Amino acid sequence: MPQTYLCFVWHMHQPFYKDLGSAEYRLPWTRLHALKDYYGMVKMLAGFPQIRQTFNLVPSMMVQIEDYASGAARDPFLRAALKPAEELTQDEHEFILRYFFQANISRMIYRYPRYGELFNQWRASDFNPCRARELFDASAYRDLQVLSQLAWFDEQFLEHDAAVSGLVRKERGYSRADQEALGLKQLEVLGKVLPVYREFASSGQIELSVTPYYHPILPLLCDSDIASVSHPNVTLPKRFRYPQDAREQVIRARDYAIRKLGHKPAGLWPSEGSVSDETLGIAAEAGFQWMATDNGVLSATLKTVAGPWETYQPYLWKNGGREMRLIFRDHYLSDLIGFVYSRMEARCAAQHFVDRIVENCRPILAAGRDALVPIVLDGENAWEHYDRGGREFLSELYRRITEHPGMTAVTVSEALSRIEPAQVSHVFPGSWIQANFDIWIGAEEDNRAWELLREARETYDRVVDSPQGKKISKLNKQLAFEELLIAEGSDWFWWYGPEHHSENRPEFDKLFRDHLTQVYRALGLAPPDELSQPIVRIQIRAQHERPSAWVTPKIDGEVSSYFEWLGAGQYLPDKRQGAMHGDHSPVQALCYGNDATRLYLRLDLDVESAGIEVHVLFNGRTQVWSQAMLTETGAELLNIERTGRLTVPMQCRYHRVFEAAIDFSGLGLRTGDTARFQVSIWRDGVPIDALPAQGWIELDTNEPE
């Protein structure tokens, strides 16, 4: 009987946050994700022995984990978390307030009542450290120090480890001893990460693959001009062409896996799924047997839309006497896990995923062919947005896969050994994001960063090969080259340009420029003045104006007059976020307000709005839910059951805009109460956007003064 083989590839990656000059970590994310995702994602497979998967590890991330596990890492974030609260300086107070609330508000901060209280106090101070001094005493800072770390532990520690679960139950009023215990527990967990990968790889339940050492975009290292193939007429910087660096990054990754993980990796997940014929050849020469990328690249390669029939099979690339097996991830299904299912109940999401696979594979199996379904995505970033770190969703998903008679979860190498590949002689150059390289090159900030990188790389070659280079020590030459390889990583370029936002963009920018600065210093040269100037420009965020007056609009799906929404609050989403690289969000703006008895909402939508669902979730003593489906001719109320939530009706109309009114009485509110709500947009049974993306819009129902 034909079978469906699911190939999960979990990509474990964080940038190289260590500053080699100061030996300090500039950001804490490798450590924090190691407490949860890097260990827990593997360990939970012990409860599902029939589920076999592939874990892709970035060597530069694992090196950082080793550094932490040894106790040698110098991390100012951990140092601030463990310092006695009574001894914190004013600068350290500001540091803690700035960074220790950088967690998912709904899933991680409000999960812990005291953490939520502290966040509310920080927000009440308008995120101003000077105002916060009146609200935060030593006890508050210590609770924040502990809870900001505790929130990142994996579920099994939160629930089953006596020390960690005891701190969870304590809730507040933590002591210096609690801080010290939590610091020791972090070192213990960090020390378990590499061993758990070796253990499960040795048993055969997981396969280990790697990414080039510092996570560079290989095709752009080989030739930055290749970006114009996937995006003709894109504005590019002066050509960067160093295929020898790409080869070095690939070989280093292979050697690290052999040395530290005890396995020669068969597979290479190229950073961001970025491929070209030249990079496939380099990987083949280094001994890799398979690579993975996105089915958007497959579509461009085959010059046709790659549906399940094309995507659910392996390919054999043959070019110039070299060979490489390829799998192309199902972009839609992978992004459902990465960006969508976090907003659904675990059981519903897991069943939706399995149903989609069954439906997609039905014609393939009916034709007598096995189906290989590649699911490739980040193995850490998504889980911050899931309830309880996504473990309930994964458990529901793994259980359904295990129980399904025609579905098996296998490693990539296992699947490739069972299914005959189709053949290709060329692969379209592109990444897993829109089959091009626009995220990392082409925007003004991107190109400026590439120019600075190229200038440093050319300087290195010129100086090392000159008479002056003979006077430079071998150690300094190695340091300069190492800094160049680090600066070639994709992560710096990810945050440049208009596509992505992070609170830490300035830190990423500074760290990139510092790596290049160290190249010049190691070579005994004065760094260029340009490296002291930020590359990043103004950050665009969601714009939010709160109501200034009561409103009583007519609910007719039209903006009947200029005055009917005058004084309403307005939320303009940041269009670069929301659905990210998933489905298109039709929302242009949200207007909201109230009078003495009702809440009013208006959504300004684009022309692709028919068929979407508008869900309004209220968070009070009981969660209350209102829903409507937009159609070609108007809006229809929906009555969808949600566990633990009450459904209340709303009056709504849709024509040029969507307008709705909901009585306070149905929400259990009276004038003077605070309404907390979130509007989410759904299509085909899955959410594609939320306003706001995290947390709630709060509305004071008193009449504004």
pLDDT tens, 488-542? 999 999 999 888 878 899 899 999 999 999 999 999 998 888 888 889 875 546 6
Residues 6+ apart with CB under 8 A from 24: 18, 74, 75, 76
What is the reported pLDDT for 499?
Answer: 81
Which one is predicted more confidently, 624 or 568? 568
Bridge partners of 24, per DSSP, are: 19, 74
Please state, in angstroms and rounded to a whole number, the distance separating the CA atoms of residues 314 and 370: 11
- 300-314: average pLDDT: 97
Please state, in angstroms and rounded to a whole number, the distance separating the CA atoms of residues 653 and 633: 10
Note whether 5 and 410 are within 8 A (CB): yes
Position 642 pLDDT exceeds 60: no
Size (the chain), residues: 705
Position 109 pLDDT exceeds 60: yes
Position 638 pLDDT exceeds 90: no
pLDDT tens, 549-564? 999 999 999 988 888 9
As a dihedral over the C-alpha atoms of residue 212, residue 216, residue 219, residue 221, rounded to 10 degrees, the angle is -110
Which one is predicted more confidently, 347 or 578? 347
What is the reported pLDDT for 686?
Answer: 64
- What is the SS3 assignment for 461-485? HHHHCCHHHHHCCHHHHHHHHHHHH
Position 578 pLDDT exceeds 70: no
What is the reported pLDDT for 538?
Answer: 56
pLDDT tens, 450-466? 999 999 999 999 999 99
What is the reported pLDDT for 641?
Answer: 53
Residues 6+ apart with CB under 8 A from 169: none
Q: Which two tokens stand for residue 355?
A: 């149903």
Nearest in space to 163 (alpha carbons), one of 153, 571, 173, 122: 153
- 661-672: average pLDDT: 86
- What is the SS3 assignment for 122-169? HHHCCCCHHHHCCCCCHHHHHHHHHHHHHCCCCHHHHHHCHHHHHHHH
Position 579 pLDDT exceeds 50: no
What is the reported pLDDT for 580?
Answer: 31
Phi, psi of 257 (to 5 degrees): -60, -40
Nearest in space to 125 (alpha carbons), one of 85, 148, 94, 150: 94
Check the CA dihedral 632-638-644-645 and report its sign: positive
CB atoms within 10 A of CB 310: 17
As a dihedral over the C-alpha atoms of residue 73, residue 269, residue 329, residue 505, rounded to 10 degrees, the angle is 40
Q: Which pLDDT band holds residue 407 (cuts at 50, 70, 90)? A: very high
Look up the CATH number of domain 543-700: 2.60.40
Mean per-residue pLDDT of the chain? 92
Note whether 9 and 374 are within 8 A (CB): yes
pLDDT tens, 323-338? 999 999 999 999 999 9
What is the reported pLDDT for 644?
Answer: 53
Phi, psi of 447 (to 5 degrees): -65, -35
What is the reported pLDDT for 695?
Answer: 78
Half-sphere exposure of 65 (CA within 13 A, CB side): 29
Q: Which pLDDT band holds residue 693 (cuts at 50, 70, 90)? A: confident
Q: Where are the alpha helices (DSSP H) in 191-276?
A: 193-203, 218-222, 227-230, 243-256
Please state, in angstroms and rounded to a whole number, the distance separating the CA atoms of residues 451 and 264: 36
Q: Which two tokens stand for residue 62?
A: 């694992």
Q: Which CATH class is domain 444-532?
A: mainly alpha
What is the reported pLDDT for 581?
Answer: 34
What is the reported pLDDT for 615?
Answer: 86
Q: What percent of the chain has pLDDT over 70?
A: 95
Strand order in the sheet with 658-663: 543-545, 569-572, 587-594, 598-605, 658-663, 651-654
pLDDT tens, 270-295? 999 999 999 999 999 999 999 999 99
What is the reported pLDDT for 626?
Answer: 73
Phi, psi of 241 (to 5 degrees): -140, 100
Phi, psi of 533 (to 5 degrees): -105, 130
Q: Which two tokens stand for residue 597?
A: 């008895």
Whether cis (ω within 30° of 0) applies to the bond prior to 692 is: yes
What is the reported pLDDT for 176?
Answer: 97
pLDDT tens, 587-632? 889 999 999 999 999 999 886 677 888 888 887 655 666 777 777 7
CB atoms within 10 A of CB 449: 26
In 469-595 the beta strands, taken as DSSP E runs, fall at: 543-545, 569-572, 587-594
Position 75 pLDDT exceeds 70: yes
The ranges assigned to domains in the chain are 199-230+240-331, 444-532, 543-700
- 144-156: average pLDDT: 97
What is the reported pLDDT for 128?
Answer: 93
Phi, psi of 159 (to 5 degrees): -100, -30
Please state, in angstroms and rounded to a whole number, the distance separating the CA atoms of residues 440 and 620: 43
Q: Which pLDDT band holds residue 201 (cuts at 50, 70, 90)? A: very high
- 382-411: average pLDDT: 97
Poorest-pLDDT segment among 18-27, 537-546, 670-679: 537-546
What is the reported pLDDT for 689?
Answer: 78
pLDDT tens, 367-379? 999 999 999 999 9
Q: What percent of the chain has pLDDT over 90?
A: 79
Q: Which two tokens stand for residue 253?
A: 């990754």
Please state, in angstroms and rounded to a whole number, the distance separating the CA atoms of residues 622 and 177: 37
Position 639 pLDDT exceeds 90: no
Note whether 538 and 562 are within 8 A (CB): no
Distance of CA 653 to the CA centre of its chain: 36
- 324-353: average pLDDT: 96
Phi, psi of 483 (to 5 degrees): -65, -35
E strand or H helix at 378, and its extent? strand 371-378
Note whether 571 and 639 are within 8 A (CB): no
Q: Which pLDDT band holds residue 235 (cuts at 50, 70, 90)? A: very high
CB atoms within 10 A of CB 398: 20
